[in-house]
Amino acid sequence: MPASPELTDTQLRELVERFYARVRQDPNLGPIFNDVIHDWPEHLTKLTDFWSSVMLTTGRYHGNPMQVHFRQKYRLTPALFERWLELWRETSTETLPPAYAAAIQAKAARMAENLQRGCGLLPANW
């Protein structure tokens, strides 16, 4: 990643807010997220903390994404994960400098693969 300017929490917050505004409107993803999340401002803060922990190693996020996704596994499909990643790629490309967008997209793709595997949507050796 470039030495300057550094990725900031402000950029991550903007990405999370823009992205989830799109997710909430998506005809396939929106119903799942809107059914589960009852306090969007709180959730956006939690997601910003998550990405801050992942990208900036702040350690602010304390949660279990696998457990959260596992509870919804009956509603999840590989196609929904791909749609999520598609929106993530689009939004991060629009919001972040190219090197940071590429880095956060790569992390999201690995996470999506691990979440799908953990939910039994992908074979263990995929």
CB-based contact 80:29 (threshold 8 Å): yes
Q: Is the pLDDT of residue 65 over 80?
A: yes
Cα dist from 27 to 4, 37, 62, 85, 97, whole Å: 38, 16, 30, 15, 29
Sorted by where each starts, the structural domains of the chain and their CATH numbers stand as 9-119 (1.10.490.10)
Mean pLDDT, to the nearest integer, of 50-58? 96
Please state the pTM of the whole predicted model: 0.90
Kindly indicate the confidence band of residue 125, based on its pLDDT and cuts at 50, 70 and 90: low
Report the C-alpha gap between 30 and 23 in whole angstroms.
Answer: 5
Report the C-alpha gap between 19 and 100 in whole angstroms.
Answer: 15
